[in-house]
Amino acid sequence: MLLIMVMTAGLALQGACSKKEPAPDTTPPADQEAERETEAVAVQEKPVKQAAVKPIPTPQPKVVEATPPKKNKPEPTVLMETPAVSISAIPMDPATSVQYLVANGWNEIRSVSAKVNTSYDQLGGNEERRHKGEGVSDFVRDGAQVRTVSRLGSIMKHEADVDDAILITGQKLTRYSDGPYMYTITERKLGTVVTKRLANHMQIKYLGGAKMFAFIRALKDLRELPRESVDGKYTYVLEGELPRYHLKYRHYIDEETGILMKMVVENSAIQSTSVTEFSNIEINVEFPEGHFDFKPPDGVEVQDLTIPGAKLKSPTPRKDEATVDDEP
């Protein structure tokens, strides 16, 4: 009996021990590899949550408004024909207006040669004087400078109050200008005087251009007078004054060429009137070489009156008295 109980307990213990041990893996190696591949595919097929990607904005082309090209200011149109209105209608001083209107004609001129006729009548003071003269006046542009030469012979008649004396003399003037200076050779019976002075329109009488208009523009009470005909040409007439010297100037300027046709100077202090007229005008003349070069007479001193304090000296006696006609 006891033996049977012991054997039954041993068998029960042996069965319990056999249940605790896991059964060996009998899956063939090929099947295990297939399982692993299936798991890998499942992992790959599992959707992955991706981060939201912000779209990159597409750059838009910059629109540039077209700027219209700058227009060059047109050059002032110089009138070629006589305007139908008075020059006073142009908002300029009279001298500038006339210079503007004659610019086209004047710009075509390089040189001028003209016949000159002068007269001078003085009724006031201690004596009466009357001068008559004629000659030529030549003008040329030399780069930025203007060169002139004028040769004028004149007869002067002086009627003095003392003993009713009448004195008649003659003189010959030759005047050169090289731009800033003028040289004057005065030949009379008593002798010859040569002077150097600063050039000025009152004595040179420029035949046109900037120097003439600069002088006119400096006159006081400058005004336009009605146009007049001089030597068959219509002219602008400009009148102005130099009160300091009691002088009144009138310039007659050809409206087509800008050439000075006539100049009248009145002196109210001595009741005198001086008239200079230009005629037989030739334009763009070819002058010989050296025509405008100043050459003083032999043996005559050139008196430089541009030096402050310089005074005019007595004339150098003439060697050839027949150079000047002393008869009326």
Per CATH, is 104-307 categorized as 2.50.20.10? Answer: yes
pLDDT given for residue 78 in this prediction: 40
Dihedral sign, Cα of residue 319, residue 148, residue 195, residue 119: positive
pLDDT given for residue 124 in this prediction: 72
Cα separation of 220 and 228, whole Å?
22
The distance between the two most distant Cα atoms of the chain, rounded to a whole number of Å, is 210
Q: Is the pLDDT of residue 45 over 80?
A: no
Q: Which of 231, 214, 96, 206 is nearest to 140 (CA)?
A: 206
Q: Is the pLDDT of residue 69 over 70?
A: no
In this predicted model, what pLDDT tens digit does every residue of 281-317 receive, in sequence order?
999 999 999 999 999 999 999 999 999 998 888 888 8
Q: Could you give the strand order of the β-sheet that contains 191-198, starting from the edge strand earlier in sequence? A: 220-230, 233-242, 247-254, 260-267, 272-283, 111-122, 127-142, 145-160, 166-177, 181-188, 191-198, 302-304
- Predicted TM-score of the model (pTM): 0.67
Please, are residues 219 and 233 in contact by the beta-carbon 8 Å criterion?
no
In this predicted model, what pLDDT tens digit does every residue of 105-116 receive, in sequence order?
999 999 999 999
pLDDT given for residue 166 in this prediction: 54
Q: Is the pLDDT of residue 155 over 60?
A: yes
pLDDT given for residue 153 in this prediction: 83
Least confident of 113-127, 167-181, 283-297: 167-181
Per-chain mean pLDDT for the chain: 77
Please, are residues 252 and 92 in contact by the beta-carbon 8 Å criterion?
no
Stronger pLDDT, 75 or 121, i.e. the higher one? 121
